[in-house]
């Protein structure tokens, strides 16, 4: 896995961290960690999530790679998982090397 670019985020926006990567399979992916709500929710609700989206080579709308979505009850845990996912990206998504 190669990090292509760490995207800038806007203060106060829902996305907290966005990272564009190229997997061992040669495809481009976005790892996005976001706040789910702009308001305070009850203690039984997850407040953050980390998702992986495949970025099509021709641009356009991003599509979910697979049902890879994890929700968290705190920002710190979500951002820590984002970093862990980047370190073990290919293994976590079970990507195979691109054919020559």
Per residue in 18-73, pLDDT (tens digit) is 999 999 999 888 899 999 998 888 888 999 999 998 888 776 666 665 557 889 99
pTM over 0.75: yes
Q: Is the dihedral of CA 57, 61, 66, 72 positive or negative?
A: positive
All residues at 6 or more sequence positions from 81 whose CB lies less than 8 Å from its CB, including other chains? 33, 50, 70, 72
| pLDDT for residue 86 is more than 80 | yes
**Assigned domain for 53 exists:** yes
Q: What 3-state class would DSSP assign to 82?
A: helix
Q: Has residue 8 been placed in a domain?
A: yes
100, part of any domain: no
Contacts of residue 56, Cβ cutoff 8 Å, sequence gap at least 6: 62, 63
How many domains does the chain contain in total? 1
* 44 backbone φψ class: left, alpha, beta (φ>0; ψ -120 to 50): alpha
Domain annotation covers residue 99: no
Q: In terms of residue numbers, what domain contains 39?
A: 2-93
């Amino acid at each position: 896995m190669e990090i292509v670019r760490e995207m800038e985020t806007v203060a106060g926006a829902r996305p907290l961290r966005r990272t564009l990567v190229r997997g061992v399979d040669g495809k481009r992916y976005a790892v996005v960690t976001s706040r789910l709500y702009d308001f305070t929710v009850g203690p039984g609700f997850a407040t953050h999530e980390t998702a992986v989206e495949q970025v099509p080579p021709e641009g356009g709308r991003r599509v979910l790679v697979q049902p890879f979505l994890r929700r968290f009850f705190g920002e710190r845990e979500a951002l820590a998982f984002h970093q862990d996912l980047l370190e073990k990206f290919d293994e976590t998504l079970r990507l195979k090397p691109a054919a020559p």
